[in-house]
Amino acid sequence: MSNEPDDEKLARFRSALNHFVDRVRDDRYVLAVILVGSLSDLTIWRRESIGLWVIEADGVTRRLRSDGNDERVFRILVEDGINLHAEVISRSRFKQMVEGSSRTAFSCNFFAERKVIYSSDPSIESWFKQANTVAIKDQERELLAFSTWTIHSLRHARKRLEIKQDLDLASQELLSAAHSLAYTEIIRNGKVWEGDVLYKAMELDPDLFQAVYLDVLAGRKKKKVLQAAMGRIETYLDQHYKAHLKPLLALLKKANRVMPLSEISDHFAYSEVYPWHLESACEWLERRGLLQKFSSPFKLTKRSLEEVEEPAYFLES
């Protein structure tokens, strides 16, 4: 069906989705179906499957050995020959996600439109509307997540280039940084974007992404090209760190004391802000004289009598 017109392909996908909803509508344990990403003539050309969230009643999750210990459960289904990629989410976990205690599955919700296409539970529709609102607090947390990712990738790119003299691995790390910068730019501009984020980011700041992405991607792995990309990323971070690292800086300012990294990490748990990314961000701030670095005692086990040390940081008010 490679020459199938877009309108016919779109009709097939919509029909398959409708048939799936009709099938689960009779299952009293399936409470809602949410479409992840739109179905339109602008997106269907590249879509070979349909992304869904399936919200189920509490206590009925069917786990397979292949699920392992992962909290998230994914299923690949099929309807009318079209694959459905579904994440199965319990009602209580969905509520937690909306309330912010487990926002993992909502990461990047600025880029992918989601739509409730079936619900037998009015509360779910209400929660969904709440979660789909681009709130300032959520925007700040997403900016922190992707900015710490950028700093972490830049840190490793510099190590690969300056210490290992490995231009190939340094290029890979810089491309990773470019991806996180793309997300950052889209969030910073308050955009909702479903497609490839790099293309949208290049529209927003073509000069930046020429240097940090296109020049690096072009294969001209000369040291000066990579150094130029690193310099542009450093400049970007210097310009925006107060806004993009705001939740981290606000936490340290409010604490007004030496704060261990484990405590900082716990504060940002379930928000896609990883401890190793936070460490890189704190080290980046410390090298600029914006934080002071100390060490703090840490017990490796609940029963340990001896203590080791972990990094801790202090922001002067």
Reply yes or no on whether the pLDDT at 135 is more than 90. Answer: no
Long-range Cβ contacts of 213-222 (<8 Å, 24+ apart): 213/175, 213/178, 213/182, 216/171, 216/174, 216/175, 216/178, 217/175, 221/167, 221/168, 221/171, 222/167
CA–chain centroid gap for 233, Å, is: 19
Task: Tell me the average pLDDT of the chain.
Answer: 87
Task: Provide mean pLDDT across the span 260-264.
Answer: 96
- Model confidence at 49, pLDDT cuts 50, 70, 90, reads confident
- Model confidence at 316, pLDDT cuts 50, 70, 90, reads confident
Q: Identify the residue whose tokens are 């869904």.
A: 52
Strands (E), the chain: 30-36, 49-56, 73-79, 82-90, 114-119, 259-260, 292-298, 308-314
Tokens of residue 139, six digits: 């925007």
pLDDT value of position 228:
95
- Model confidence at 219, pLDDT cuts 50, 70, 90, reads confident
Q: Please state which CATH number belongs to domain 6-131.
A: 3.30.460.10
- Model confidence at 79, pLDDT cuts 50, 70, 90, reads very high
Q: Using CA atoms in the order 249, 250, 253, 254, what is the torsion angle rounded to 10 degrees?
A: -150
Task: Provide mean pLDDT across the span 231-242.
Answer: 97
On whether the CB atoms of residues 141 and 135 are closer than 8 A, the answer is: no
CA–chain centroid gap for 71, Å, is: 17
Contacts of 45 (CB under 8 A, 6+ apart): 6, 9
Q: Buried (b) or exposed (e) across 8-45, using 16+ Cβ within 10 A?
A: ebbebbeebbeebbeebeeeeebbbbbbbbebeeeebe
Domain(s) of CATH 3.30.460.10: residues in the chain: 6-131
pLDDT value of position 220:
63
- Model confidence at 104, pLDDT cuts 50, 70, 90, reads very low
CATH number for 135-244: choose from 1.10.3470, 1.20.120, 2.170.270, 1.10.10: 1.20.120
Q: Closest Cα to residue 35, out of 229, 47, 45?
A: 47
- Model confidence at 111, pLDDT cuts 50, 70, 90, reads very low
In order of 7, 139, 244, the CA distances from 198 in angstroms are 27, 19, 19
Tokens of residue 232, six digits: 């542009």
Q: Identify the residue whose tokens are 């840490």.
A: 298
Global pTM? 0.76
Residue with the larger pLDDT of the pair 46 and 313: 313
The helix (H) or strand (E) run that includes residue 95 is: helix 91-99
Domain 245-317 fold is: Arc Repressor Mutant, subunit A (1.10.10)
pLDDT value of position 102:
44
Domain(s) of CATH 1.20.120: residues in the chain: 135-244
Domain(s) of CATH 1.10.10.10: residues in the chain: 245-317
* Overall size of the chain counted in residues: 317
On whether the CB atoms of residues 108 and 200 are closer than 8 A, the answer is: no
Q: What is the DSSP string of 96-151?
A: HHHHTSS-GGGTTTTTS-EEEEEES-HHHHHHHHHHTS--HHHHHHHHHHHHHHHH
Q: Identify the residue whose tokens are 């989410």.
A: 89
Task: Provide mean pLDDT across the span 204-215.
Answer: 96
Q: Measured on CA atoms in the order 22, 24, 26, 30, is the torsion positive or negative? A: negative
Contacts of 66 (CB under 8 A, 6+ apart): none
- Model confidence at 108, pLDDT cuts 50, 70, 90, reads very low
pLDDT, tens digit, 9 for 90 and up, residues 270-286: 777 899 999 999 999 99
